Chains A and B, each alone.
Chain A
Amino acid sequence: MNENEFEPKIVAFTCNWCSYAAADLAGTSRISYPPNVALIRVMCTGMVDPAYVLKAFELGFDGVLIAGCHPGDCHYISGNLKADERVKTLKRLIHILGLEDERLRLEWCSTAEGEKFADIVKESVSQLKQLGPSPYGNVTNKVAQVAM
């Protein structure tokens, strides 16, 4: 990584059954991707409260990834479809808040798609690099500086 280049911070909410396992598979298969992403394991993407996404942006994350099972493969039948509906609404909401809707991404990865997971991370990082830092990222940093 270049010292001066902007490095986006991404948090990924991944479901225990598919996408978290896909990330594990990327690891087991030693498919590398940039360290800009950190995963939070949830049992199902249907468990991801919109508040988590908004909080993540408030905290200064440049991108939020929600990754679950392919439609039809949800361990809880339809949790991923519920997440899909919520993400559509959330995208409109973050747009109103002045964030590009590309900063929120919903993806499907099966347990077998380690390579796909790595590709999604790589793509997200380069896309966010083009978009530049989140405006809330700067605010949070400034607040933090003032506080110090």
Chain B
Amino acid sequence: MDRNGHRRIGVYICHCGTNIAQTVDVEKVSEYAGTLDSVVVARDYMFMCSDVGQELIENDIRELGLNRVVVASCSPRMHELTFRKVCQRAGLNPYLLEMANIREQCSWVHSDKDLATEKAKALVRAAVKRAFYQEPLETKEALINPNTLVVGGGIAGIQAALEIADSEHKVYLVEREPSIGGHMIQLDKTFPTLDCSSCILTPKMSAVGSHPYIDLMTYSEVEEVSGYIGNFKIRIRKKARYVDEDKCNSCGVCQEKCPWQVDSEFNAGLGKRKAIYTPFPQAVPNIPVIDTEHCAYFLKGTCRACEKFCDAKAINFEQTDQIIEVEVGTIIVATGYDVFDPSVMPRYGYGKYDNVITSLEFERLSSATGPTGGRILLKDGREPESVAIIHCVGSRDQNYHEYCSRVCCMYALKFAHLIKEKTNAQVYQMYIDMRCFGAGYEEFYKRLSQEGVTFIRGKVAKVTDHATTEEEKGKLIVVGVDTVLGNLMRVPVDMVVLCAALEARSDADKVARMFTIGRRADGFFLERHVKLDPIATPTDGVLIAGCCQSPKDIPDTVAQASAAAARALALISRGKVALEAAVACVDETRCQGCGRCEEICEFHAPKIRKNGLISVSSINEVLCKGCGACAVSCPTGAISIKHFTRQEILAELEALVGV
């Protein structure tokens, strides 16, 4: 309000080039806005967000003494912050800005210019009315705890943790498996350079293990997250390993002596491990865990062979889970992906035929640390004479996952190269489209085309052992359509590799809820902005990196993890953060102290306090998120949400119909 208590509102209508002006008569809207109550100036301009546009508003605030600003342009999700800063620079409280979304919700979705112009007028009218009732808000700041939590110890988590720790800031890296390494440590070579995955990852893993600024917690899971940006409290369950980490000297005798064998998760079920095990020899930390589901002592009460042979006396059957609480300022979630289980598609015969294997199984077969020492062999120990690689199993398929898993085309090419290198087998690629988009990828495709691999374009209908000719006997026959030649095809092979999709973790919903992250329809975590903010989430201070956001290759994962680390470091270096200003407030003269707000709030922000004889609610503004649940449930209407008051919303509603 000016000195006389009057509102002085400026309205700014953006053309957005032709984005708005093409369907909305911007001049007419501007002219109309000028006639509205309390509006002292209304202007239209080609690009309101440009420097010139911003200066225009700034000058008007100063020269015309504006005390409310309405910008009618794109979505506030796009430029609200830009225009708030404009107000701030001109000395106006940033919360005295209101935006009318006449681009995303008007010009881009309507085609009739008259109707779109009328709607734009109504939206501007409503925004002006709402601005009329807005009040200045005070922005508070919270200090940032300089510690960071990284959840997930795959390549994304490792990269992010190292980047932050190298700047001498503390990182808690939590991994639920006994070792860090994630899926990447299971891979053999990596496309398109054919670097050995272990060779490039293990140095990073050991750097994590020995880093003075990384507190590595493996075989541990985050159980509870509370607090807010800068000040999160994390509860971590460190599962009992039944091996004393301080005493164990990683000699491996326990694993040698343990008589109980279990399918190895690391080898994708192709090899065996013991009931006391480290997942693989290069594990970090190289300390075994006892799998209580398969250990005879835990099942039957006898055995204890590991304990008997352990010179270091590190085995401790009495160990229990530990609960560790840590405080951090920023969280990076890098929980990775699951591999699609192709047994739900019986037509490919996975689980039925021994020599139909998944891509991950092939990685283990081809890896020097795998069950065959890197030799590509059939189940009966023979070398295959022919191998078919089927693309898009569970990806680009409306029955399973509609998205492209992004890495399969390239690893399929890598498989073909490895098979050619290690055996004399004929290799067939059955693909829908070859997607070779990254640096050096198309070149790798070209190279493989010259290595004598047969490319067949077409989706495979089924894999069968039902032979119809002499040649097909004893083989797996890949049946489908060659869409280039337009022929039915029957390709007899010894081995079939299914390029299984990358899918969201089966417990992604639980993790999303714990960290308050949104998810896409396909289950992956949702970034704040698909193009401009691929690492942030709706929850300030919670960042995402790697395949938990969407399927991606190693270079993209590393880039995203480094970006998340940079964002965390930016917060740490700034040291403080602005808190939500639009929070709940209580009119103590109306509050009866009934406690309904206390019951309904998920964030424990309202508390009933005794004030002499009277009990009233008071809001902890640091905890309050401004969701408004308490305001609606308050029986006396004592609670309101700043910036979203009843008066503001009802005024906006009334103005929409022209009241």
Name B632's contact: one of A27, A46, A69 (CB within 8 Å).
A46
A27 close to B105 (CB less than 8 A): yes
**Assembly CA distance A11 to B106 (angstroms):** 14
B652 close to A47 (CB less than 8 A): no
For the complex formed, measure the closest distance between the CB of A29 and the CB atoms of chain B, giving whole angstroms. 9
Considering only CB atoms, which chain A residue lies closest to B75 in the complex?
Answer: A24
Residues of B within 8 A of A94 (CB): none
For the complex formed, measure the closest distance between the CB of A107 and the CB atoms of chain B, giving whole angstroms. 15
**Assembly CA distance A33 to B106 (angstroms):** 10
Name B626's contact: one of A43, A50, A73 (CB within 8 Å).
A43
**Assembly CA distance A56 to B655 (angstroms):** 11
Known A-B contacts A28-B108, A31-B109, A111-B526; the reply to A59 vs B628 at CB < 8 A is no
Residues of B within 8 A of A47 (CB): 627-629, 631-632, 641, 644
A27 close to B103 (CB less than 8 A): yes
Render B619-641 as a binary contact track against A, CB cut-off 8 A, 1 for contact: 00000011111011100000001
B625 close to A24 (CB less than 8 A): no
Name B629's contact: one of A16, A44, A56, A72 (CB within 8 Å).
A44
Residues of B within 8 A of A34 (CB): 110
Considering only CB atoms, which chain B residue lies closest to A33 in the complex?
Answer: B109
B631 close to A49 (CB less than 8 A): yes
Residues of B within 8 A of A75 (CB): 516, 518, 538-539, 625, 627
A127 within 8 A of B: no
Residues of A within 8 A of B430 (CB): none
Name A38's contact: one of B122, B539, B633 (CB within 8 Å).
B122
A1 close to B115 (CB less than 8 A): yes
**Assembly CA distance A71 to B600 (angstroms):** 17
| Tier of interface size on chain B | 35 or more
Considering only CB atoms, which chain B residue lies closest to A18 in the complex?
Answer: B518
Number of residues from A at the complex interface, CB < 8 A:
54
Residues of A within 8 A of B126 (CB): 38, 40
B509 close to A52 (CB less than 8 A): no
**Assembly CA distance A30 to B633 (angstroms):** 38
Residues of B within 8 A of A50 (CB): 632
Residues of A within 8 A of B119 (CB): 35, 38
Considering only CB atoms, which chain A residue lies closest to B516 in the complex?
Answer: A75
B103 close to A76 (CB less than 8 A): no
Interface hits, A1-57 → B, CB 8 Å: 1, 9, 11, 16-18, 20-21, 23-24, 26-28, 30-35, 38-44, 46-52, 55-56
Name A56's contact: one of B110, B122, B646, B653 (CB within 8 Å).
B653
For the complex formed, measure the closest distance between the CB of A83 and the CB atoms of chain B, giving whole angstroms. 9
**Assembly CA distance A21 to B108 (angstroms):** 14
B582 within 8 A of A: yes
Residues of A within 8 A of B484 (CB): none
Known A-B contacts A72-B513, A111-B518; the reply to A40 vs B628 at CB < 8 A is no
B451 within 8 A of A: no
A124 within 8 A of B: no
For the complex formed, measure the closest distance between the CB of B131 and the CB atoms of chain A, giving whole angstroms. 14
B341 within 8 A of A: no
A51 close to B646 (CB less than 8 A): yes
**Assembly CA distance A73 to B513 (angstroms):** 7
B77 within 8 A of A: yes
A20 close to B77 (CB less than 8 A): yes
Residues of B within 8 A of A24 (CB): 75, 77-78, 101, 104-105
Known A-B contacts A32-B110, A35-B110; the reply to A42 vs B628 at CB < 8 A is yes
B76 within 8 A of A: yes
For the complex formed, measure the closest distance between the CB of B544 and the CB atoms of chain A, giving whole angstroms. 14
B656 close to A52 (CB less than 8 A): no
A72 close to B509 (CB less than 8 A): yes
B111 within 8 A of A: yes
Residues of A within 8 A of B118 (CB): 35
Considering only CB atoms, which chain A residue lies closest to B510 in the complex?
Answer: A72
A110 close to B520 (CB less than 8 A): yes
Known A-B contacts A38-B656, A59-B653, A77-B602; the reply to A44 vs B104 at CB < 8 A is no
A42 close to B649 (CB less than 8 A): yes
A27 close to B582 (CB less than 8 A): no
A32 close to B77 (CB less than 8 A): no
**Assembly CA distance A40 to B652 (angstroms):** 8
Residues of B within 8 A of A61 (CB): 657
B467 within 8 A of A: no
Known A-B contacts A9-B657, A75-B516, A112-B521; the reply to A39 vs B105 at CB < 8 A is yes
B519 within 8 A of A: yes
A63 within 8 A of B: no
For the complex formed, measure the closest distance between the CB of B374 and the CB atoms of chain A, giving whole angstroms. 42
Known A-B contacts A24-B75, A72-B513; the reply to A110 vs B627 at CB < 8 A is no
B57 within 8 A of A: no
Known A-B contacts A23-B104, A38-B656; the reply to A46 vs B112 at CB < 8 A is no
Residues of B within 8 A of A17 (CB): 518, 538
A32 close to B109 (CB less than 8 A): yes
For the complex formed, measure the closest distance between the CB of B411 and the CB atoms of chain A, giving whole angstroms. 27
Render B86-106 as a binary contact track against A, CB cut-off 8 A, 1 for contact: 000000000000000101111
B76 close to A76 (CB less than 8 A): no
Residues of A within 8 A of B627 (CB): 43-44, 46-47, 75-76, 79
A79 close to B629 (CB less than 8 A): yes
For the complex formed, measure the closest distance between the CB of A76 and the CB atoms of chain B, giving whole angstroms. 4
**Assembly CA distance A110 to B527 (angstroms):** 12
Residues of A within 8 A of B631 (CB): 47, 49
Residues of B within 8 A of A86 (CB): 632
Render A60-96 as a binary contact track against B, CB cut-off 8 A, 1 for contact: 1100000001001101111100100010000000000
For the complex formed, measure the closest distance between the CB of A30 and the CB atoms of chain B, giving whole angstroms. 6
**Assembly CA distance A31 to B126 (angstroms):** 24
B657 close to A76 (CB less than 8 A): no
Q: Which residues of B approach A to under 8 Å, CB–CB?
A: 75-78, 101, 103-106, 108-112, 115-116, 118-119, 122-123, 126, 509, 512-513, 516, 518-521, 526, 538-539, 582, 600, 602-603, 625-629, 631-633, 641, 644, 646, 649-650, 652-654, 656-657, 659
Known: A39-B105, A112-B521. 6 other contacts (CB 8 A): A38-B656, A40-B649, A46-B632, A48-B632, A59-B654, A75-B625
Q: Which 4 A-B pairs have the closest CB atoms?
A: A47-B628, A27-B104, A76-B627, A27-B108
Q: What would 8 A/B residue contacts be, using CB atoms closer than 8 Å?
A: A35-B115, A41-B76, A41-B101, A46-B628, A72-B509, A76-B627, A112-B520, A113-B521
